[in-house]
Chain A
């Protein structure tokens, strides 16, 4: 999707290892979000950011941490990956105040923890 890139697109990792997913935007949007999508659960919010170094927890934040040192990058880290964290992870951005405008989503990262 234009203006927002997720990397890697696919990753297989072993249980217990740390994993970092990257979301990069070129839109200079203030707000960034990480979601996970699983069958039967839809999308669930993990963490979000409302500015550089400003982050907060979402619905399912346990086992995840985030960092935002620059406007354009929002990193999601699985501190010690577990099989329950196998999922598709989506990053999203928005320009206006949080929920007052539509989000633009990245293409997703498919993570498999074995």
Chain B
């Protein structure tokens, strides 16, 4: 079974609005990562947040991590049509951290 689960499954917003996606996971982690996938393409790494961090920023992206609730959120501010993509969270397969496993993703649609 997958470690991370994103919510919602799909999200539709207008350009300029903020988009928030959530990820819940099951076991303790060293870090949590977020990826973007444009249609028909491979995944692209967006941001990594370590277990001792609570918040991290990268451009228009803001990621939070709450290890007590085993959850993370990805906020995209001032969305653009180019942000239309699927977004995935990823955590380690096991305690040894040998490989990442991914959730099923949130599909974001930004209309102009």
Contacts and interface: CB of A to CB of B under 8 A. Distances in A.
Given A58-B99, A98-B99, A42 B42 contact: no
B60 interface: no
Interface string B99-112: 11111110000000
B48 A101 contact: yes
Contacts of B35: 102-103
Interface residues of B, number: 27
B101 A1 contact: no
B99 A108 contact: no
Of B31, B43, B92, B96, the most chain A CB neighbours within 10 A belong to: B43
A45 B102 CA distance: 8
Contact of A98 (B45, B48, B98, B102): B98
A43 B98 contact: no
Contact of A99 (B30, B88, B105): B30
Q: Which 5 A-B pairs have the closest CB atoms?
A: A102-B45, A105-B42, A42-B104, A43-B102, A99-B92
Interface of B: 2, 30-31, 33, 35, 40-45, 48, 88, 90-93, 96-105
